[in-house]
Structures are given as C-alpha cells and as structure tokens.
Amino acid sequence: MSWLKDVLESGAFAVTGEVGPPKSPNIQPVLKKVNQVCRHVDAVNFTDNQTAIVRMSSLAGCLLAKEAGADPVMQMVCRDRNRIALQSDLLGACALGVENVLCLSGDHQSMGNHPQSKNVFDVDSIQLLEIFKNMRDRSAFQNGEEIKSPVKVFLGAGESPYADPVAFRAMRLAKKVAAGAQFIQTQAIFDIERFEQWMFEVRGLGLHKKVFILGGVIPVKSARALRYMQEEVPGLVIPENLIHRLEKADDAKAEGVNICVETIERLKEIEGVAGVHIMAIAWESIIPEIVERAGLFPRPAKGAEHNHEDPKRT
C-alpha cells in the first residue's frame, strides 16, 4: 500500500523528499541518501533522468529505496517513452510494489547531456494521468483491452504555479485532477505571495478538496546558486530580497536553511496545502534538520494497521 497516501488521508502534514539517482550503476549513493532522509520523510521521489541527463532509472532507485524501508515515488516523464513503454513500466512498478507514481512531461532533451537524441512525447502528462487512472479504475489499457489483475497506483502530478500563462495555471491543475491526479508536488516556492495567490484560485475552484497539494521547496547554499536558478531555471520566480538576504548573511548556507524553514512554516498556514516536498538537490543530508526545525518531526509511524492488503483502498 502507498504509505504516502495513508499519511495524506490521515490529515497529517506530509513530508516528501527527492533523490536524484546516480550517473552510474552504483547503489551506494542511493542507499546513503535514502538512509539520510528516510526517517524524516513519508516518501522519497526518484527523478526520471531529470534535466534530460542520463541516470540510473527511477524504478531501480525506487526498488532500492523500498528494500531500505522507504516509500518511493516513481517519477515518469513523457520525453523518453511512448504509451507502450509507459504502461509496461507501470505494470512493472506495480509488480514490484512501487505504488506512487508522479506523471510529468519532462525536460526537453536539448537541455540535457544528449541533445542529439530524438524525443517521444507520444502523450503529455495529463494524458498519462488519465491512462494510468483507467488502468487502475477500469482495468483497461489505453487501447481499451482488459488488464487481468488489479493495478494499484497512487497518482501524482507536478504543477508550476509561476509559469505562464499565469491565468491558465489553476485551470491546468483542474485538468490534472480531472485526469486522475491524487496528489500534486509543486515547483519550488520562493515567492510565497504569488503561491498564496495561486492557492486562492485553486481553492476558488474547490481543487484543494479533491487533491493533496504538497508545496515544493529547495534549500539553497548561496546567493550565487539562487541567482543561477533565477536566471536559468524555467518556471521559477525568485524575489530579489531573498538573494540579498543570502548575500548579506555571514553564513549563507545557514541562511538558506532558514529561508527554507520559514517557507515551510508559511505553507503550513495556507488552507489547502497538505504537505511539503523538499528538493534538496545534491544536499539530501540537510533534509532532517529542515524537517526538525519546521516542527514536522517525528513523522507518523508506520503502524501495523497499514500492513493489511485491502484492494479497495487504492
């Protein structure tokens, strides 16, 4: 069963973290990162060749995490696989007990380390959600053929409250929910006011009652890193004053953690925000401190009641 789903349904403010699999078949970095974070998060995301750079597959990372006792979230992008491969991998994930899946469009390959490759984009992330929902709820493949045994999956999607056209953003979330999204992990939040505005629109559409929204945060180590994100990472809005704060700080790393913790404190107050997703890129070791300082530790304990297998629950 999806532990993440249980936590969210219990009403607790959920915490998820993110692990980027290594650019090698070495399992040690995966296990190390999982061990660093697993007592402090309810689930761990494994990215799918993020920024279009070849890495260990998300499914392999998920399996390693699961064996190490964590609840993994498998990210799946539409860039590299057509509907045949995507459905096949969902069956595979399901067979191996990986039940949280986050459906994304994916970064374009021209941004990564194999810009000469051909992309797929057979379906988009919303179509992927719908395909997976039907595989679960109607036991049917995309072509309508029957799937002989039940597919269990807890479906997530990304959302970027800051990208343009801004007026379409809440509507796009509505589409994702209609297509099957049960939880949302947002793009990193630095401009909390604009996030609040977006949540206001989301509540206006009643979406916060239909989907669990986890606000994304990124702890940053320096003003330079933040400036880089402001200039280079699409879909992010980073207020100048945060960059100034880091510039002025004696210990920029500590200030970066402060900003992250403050953001989480604000998120906890926003109606309709069900949790936080911490993307500590190449800095997974900081996650425990952030979670503790944000007053989110200890995490709910996996009790015996969650071990039973009830097919109706997913």
Partner 1 sequence: MIVGERKPIREILELLGDNTTVLVVGCGSCVTVCLSGGEREARELASILRIRGQSAREVTVERQCEKEFLLPLEKEIEPVQAVVSLACGIGVQAMSEMFSSHRVFPGLNTTFMGMPVEQGLWEEYCSGCGECVVHKYGGVCPVTRCAKSLFNGPCGGSQAGLCEVKPDRDCAWQLIYDRLKSQNRVEELLQVQPPKDWSFSRSGGHRKMSREDMLL
Minimum gap (Å) between residue 160 Cβ and partner 1: 3
Residue nearer to partner 1 on the CB measure, 216 or 255: 216
Minimum gap (Å) between residue 82 Cβ and partner 1: 9
CA pair distance 193, 74, nearest whole angstrom: 30
Cα atoms in the 13 Å half-sphere on the side-chain side of 146:
2
230 binds partner 1 (CB under 8 A): no
DSSP state, residue 281: T
Closest CA to 30 of 2, 3, 57, 1: 57
CA pair distance 238, 231, nearest whole angstrom: 9
* Count of residues that bind partner 1 according to CB under 8 A: 37
57, 119, 230, 314: which one binds partner 1 (CB under 8 A): 119
Residue nearer to partner 1 on the CB measure, 9 or 201: 201
Options 3-11, 40-48, 123-131, 266-274: segment touching partner 1 (CB under 8 A): 123-131
For partner 1, the binding residues in 191-210 under the rule CB under 8 A are none
Q: Phi first, then psi: what are they for 59, rounded to 5°? A: -60, -40
Options 33-41, 87-95, 107-115, 271-279: segment touching partner 1 (CB under 8 A): 107-115
The secondary structure element, H or E, covering residue 136 is: helix 125-137
121 binds partner 1 (CB under 8 A): yes
For partner 1, the binding residues in 149-178 under the rule CB under 8 A are 158-160, 163-165, 167-168, 171-172, 174-175, 178
Rg over alpha carbons for the chain, rounded to the nearest Å, is 19
**Cis peptide bond N-terminal to 298, omega within 30:** yes
113 binds partner 1 (CB under 8 A): no
Cα separation values, 83 from 7, 115, 245, 249, 292, Å: 31, 22, 46, 49, 41
Closest CA to 247 of 265, 263, 259: 259
Q: Phi first, then psi: what are they for 271, rounded to 5°? A: -60, 130
Options 106-114, 246-254, 266-274, 290-298: segment touching partner 1 (CB under 8 A): 106-114
For partner 1, the binding residues in 77-96 under the rule CB under 8 A are 78-79, 83
Residue nearer to partner 1 on the CB measure, 2 or 16: 16
111 binds partner 1 (CB under 8 A): yes
Q: Which residues bind partner 1 (CB under 8 A)?
A: 78-79, 83, 105-108, 110-111, 119, 121-127, 130-131, 142, 158-160, 163-165, 167-168, 171-172, 174-175, 178-179, 187, 234-235
